[in-house]
Amino acid sequence: MRLERSDCPFTNHPDFITAQVATFLLAGFETSFAVLALTLYELAKQADIQQRLRREINEPVHQNTSLTYDQLQQLCYLHQVVCEGLRTYSSAAFINRGCIPSQIP
């Protein structure tokens, strides 16, 4: 990687590149974990929703020894809970990126 412009605020220093890679990795892992943790927190606060979700998940589990992919796809309330968690706690809003003028066409 070579940067042509000398007035560019970024460098190709190994520390800079390492920091960028770490940022991308953390952004990928942290967003998933944060949404999951906050959704579980909401379930802990709202016992009625948690109980309804447990009933829906336990229904097919009691019928079989394990939950199949097709059964998982039919768990509508689980899908609603996950979608609400993603809507409420969208962590993509926290990723702040910018570009330098030379990157704008």
Domain-wise residue ranges, the chain:
15-88
The dihedral sign for the CA sequence 92, 94, 95, 96: positive
pLDDT for position 26: 73
Structure tokens at 21: 């890679």
Query: Is the model's pTM score more than 0.85?
Result: no
* Per-residue tokens: 65: 């020894």
Structure tokens at 80: 């609603």
**pLDDT tens profile 43-72:** 999 999 999 999 999 888 777 767 788 888
